[in-house]
Structure 1
């Protein structure tokens, strides 16, 4: 484990202006050097908090000179215990297997999401940390079924119904975190108070997981079709709204707020259900590309994703390719599921600010993206036909031959 008490000599340009020091708490952020972790750290620091970043890799962006970076792995309890020592509150956002080929690495997903969370809980109790906020996911209740304006009374999706290991392990981890609420801290007095936030898909300028993958598909000419019912609705959450929700949840765990969020889970989004592909239309067109007009059924894309996963299972040990889509990604983007923010608003004071993709479009354009397509309408039409034919051929090849 390495500790750097001064990782940079100046503050990053993304950080908010410094504010009067009104809070002296020390916050540990697991996965703190990732996109969301960095934004949360910058916001906390701007409000006067002390911040410890715990991650397997150093920050890729410049951070404040008084941040503490602890290099370590949540799968190693000794490293977790040393990182947690002396902090007042833990934001546990580190996870693995959210999207793409990561979703197919079952062993690592289990080790990080389940065992890693157990390590965090144990360290909080032994190091007398009284507050823990866990970053969960919509997926703990969603597995491809239609959900309209769901709330926190929905039961967990039965573990065997999850189409991917990430969602299953996030459910297990969230259950463990909420069950740990009220656990006596070692040496007493005091107890550990926990809560969980279930965010929608995160977006914002500089997001490095979903948006670059989509832009890559656009620029390679792969984004030639959409799928699912055009009336299907999903949700997203801007990174700044998610930061706000985490700060409010941490505050709601304090005595001053009567520990009102203790033992609770909250759905977090922008609160504006939208068709998945319409949400990304400003990004596609903002970069100068035509928006696809070809629409395919979810069932066909899901079957294609299933076959892709099977192929990856066979060849993955030799060639770990990036699947175009996984089954979970098809469900998450093509099947209606959105949730009420009523509980988060009432108990946390959460008020999402209206956001859009304009900043993200500018972020990509400033980095050389946005080349216009010069292909003809006829050319695009013929390519669309070829794509549909390819999907159909793959599907038909797996159907039983009549008379065989």
Structure 2
């Protein structure tokens, strides 16, 4: 850092309680040669006694090295009161100002920055450094590969926040060298880190929902991410550069990244796996998901409601849909920026700070996942499950061939059930007679044993089934349980419809499905459940949408009936 006089060491961080603002304040105080004023819209500064940076800030406030000001950027007088006597203003805001509507966002973001510029000029502030965003050049329909500062603003912004930030950034740059005020702006890309309220929380929301089963978009898309401490470092570098290299920095804008482009899904999965979430395997085209999310957003816009999970999905879709990498050579050359925290270190610190969002169940081994198969539990986990889930392929294949042979023998041959049974018994008789003529060594393979425990269980199960059927019959005979009567009638009707009228066909389909459906479902359990969850969400949103359309009509009719009375 260039040596500066006492007055130039006094700075103000507008938006000092925001995600980037808090990190910037902490870094300025740790450098030791700054008197820092925090300013934000909150009436008072709320500090966490368990957070190390907040403890450090509280100590700095008590020693006079830091102070807090309540500032309304729509009120020029409050801005002047906070910045008077400072030589540099770091203006750091976030997208919370655009959470309500365009008008309030425009008032705080665009008109607010105009008030800040006017106040800086009136108070003879020397430097104004604005923290913008790389999204001002992103139109969400084209890839950006190694984009530099020659890129024009987007013609169609991906959201209201990006559009307003572009207007505010342009206003700051146009104010350069007016009334002695030097300005510049930084465009960090995809800022993450401890305290992040957008990227990682959105990923966790998606990972906790039905969308967790899918990789959204192409896993080949590359993105630039920026650790929050590197953004704070870049802002300080920009101030030093404005002091020593004014001509090459003032009125300019610079992209800021970690200088480590990475695959979007590689970054996201490293974050989620660090928090205990499983890696999805199936790829879902981003265009399909974008259409679904757009449909849900349209329905919510019609009902004037919002859904945080859908907003998170929308954020993730935007993040994963395109390649967005930026060239930071201008920042490296002109403001001498280089990352102070690597991407790996930043990811580790972020995961550690978000441990409260970790998945409740710890990671399990493949054997444990195998034991927890829903299909195996449904089938009882016994011999039937072993066969239908093809645990032993040889045994399952022989059983399948046996079932097919029996089905052909009893149903596909042109014989009655009685004739087929008689011929089968005759074959068994010949087989047993032939086996008796074999040697004792050979006949040992035909010796069957049933344990006493297995026999007792079989008898007990038979008795339980018999008692259950008799209980149902007694309940029906009393004629009091109409719910049970309805269930039995409906069950018998469907049994007649699907089995009695076309018994051979239905039985054949059921047998084939039993050897295929359970196995396929177990192999693609997560993907199938994810699709079911998405379909369920669409149906639920549609029902809410239709209900909201009917409710106003109902209320209107009720009010009309009251008026008629």
Provide TM-score, normalisation by structure 2. Answer: 0.59
User: Which residue of structure 2 lines up, in the alignment, with residue 14 of structure 1?
Assistant: none
User: Which residue of structure 2 lines up, in the alignment, with residue 174 of structure 1?
Assistant: 169
Aligned CA distance change for structure 1 residues 123 and 329 (closer, same or farther; 3 Å): farther
Determine if contact 2:202/2:316 at 8 Å carries over to the other structure.
no
Aligned CA distance change for structure 1 residues 299 and 23 (closer, same or farther; 3 Å): farther
- Which stretches of structure 1, 4 residues or more, deviate above 6 A after TM superposition? 391-397
Determine if contact 2:91/2:128 at 8 Å carries over to the other structure.
yes
Q: Please state how far the C-alpha of 1:307 moved relative to its aligned partner.
A: 2.4
Q: Please state how far the C-alpha of 1:309 moved relative to its aligned partner.
A: 3.0
User: Which residue of structure 1 lines up, in the alignment, with residue 325 of structure 2?
Assistant: 338
Q: Would you say 1:276 and 2:272 are equivalent positions?
A: no
More helix by share: 2
Aligned CA distance change for structure 1 residues 219 and 390 (closer, same or farther; 3 Å): closer
User: Which residue of structure 2 lines up, in the alignment, with residue 139 of structure 1?
Assistant: 135
Measured in 2, the distance between the counterparts of 1:78 and 1:313 equals 38
Matches within 5 A, 1:253-268: 253-254=242-243, 256-268=244-256
Quick check: which has more Rg, 1 or 2? Answer: 2
Matches within 5 A, 1:257-336: 257-316=245-304, 319-322=305-308, 323-325=310-312, 330-336=317-323
User: Which residue of structure 1 lines up, in the alignment, with residue 116 of structure 2?
Assistant: 120
Measured in 2, the distance between the counterparts of 1:222 and 1:302 equals 12
Deviation sequence 1:222-256 (CA, Å, 0-9, x none): 533221111111111011211111100011111x3
Measured in 1, the distance between the counterparts of 2:90 and 2:39 equals 10
Measured in 1, the distance between the counterparts of 2:106 and 2:246 equals 34
Aligned CA distance change for structure 1 residues 331 and 282 (closer, same or farther; 3 Å): closer
Gaps of 5+ in 2: 49-53, 374-521, 544-565
Aligned equivalent of 2:21, options 22, 37, 44: 37
User: Which residue of structure 2 lines up, in the alignment, with residue 12 of structure 1?
Assistant: none
Determine if contact 2:210/2:530 at 8 Å carries over to the other structure.
no
Q: Please state how far the C-alpha of 1:297 moved relative to its aligned partner.
A: 1.1
Aligned CA distance change for structure 1 residues 382 and 338 (closer, same or farther; 3 Å): same
Measured in 2, the distance between the counterparts of 1:301 and 1:294 equals 13
Q: RCO greater where, 1 or 2, for CA within 8 Å and sep 6 or more?
A: 1
Determine if contact 2:14/2:91 at 8 Å carries over to the other structure.
yes
For 2:162, what is the secondary structure of its paired residue? helix
Q: Please state how far the C-alpha of 1:284 moved relative to its aligned partner.
A: 1.4
Matches within 5 A, 1:229-244: 229-244=218-233
For 2:261, what is the secondary structure of its paired residue? coil
Gaps of 5+ in 1: 1-20, 185-190, 398-404
Q: Please state how far the C-alpha of 1:97 moved relative to its aligned partner.
A: 4.8
User: Which residue of structure 2 lines up, in the alignment, with residue 10 of structure 1?
Assistant: none
| CA RMSD in angstroms, aligned pairs only | 2.8
User: Which residue of structure 2 lines up, in the alignment, with residue 247 of structure 1?
Assistant: 236
Measured in 2, the distance between the counterparts of 1:287 and 1:150 equals 32
For 1:371, what is the secondary structure of its paired residue? coil
Q: Would you say 1:380 and 2:526 are equivalent positions?
A: yes
Q: Please state how far the C-alpha of 1:389 moved relative to its aligned partner.
A: 4.2
Aligned residues: 363
Q: Would you say 1:183 and 2:178 are equivalent positions?
A: yes
Determine if contact 2:210/2:533 at 8 Å carries over to the other structure.
no
Provide TM-score, normalisation by structure 1. Answer: 0.82
Q: Please state how far the C-alpha of 1:206 moved relative to its aligned partner.
A: 3.4
Measured in 1, the distance between the counterparts of 2:100 and 2:269 equals 29
Determine if contact 1:141/1:157 at 8 Å carries over to the other structure.
yes
For 1:260, what is the secondary structure of its paired residue? helix
Aligned equivalent of 2:352, options 357, 362, 378: 362
Determine if contact 2:202/2:315 at 8 Å carries over to the other structure.
no
Measured in 1, the distance between the counterparts of 2:300 and 2:112 equals 26
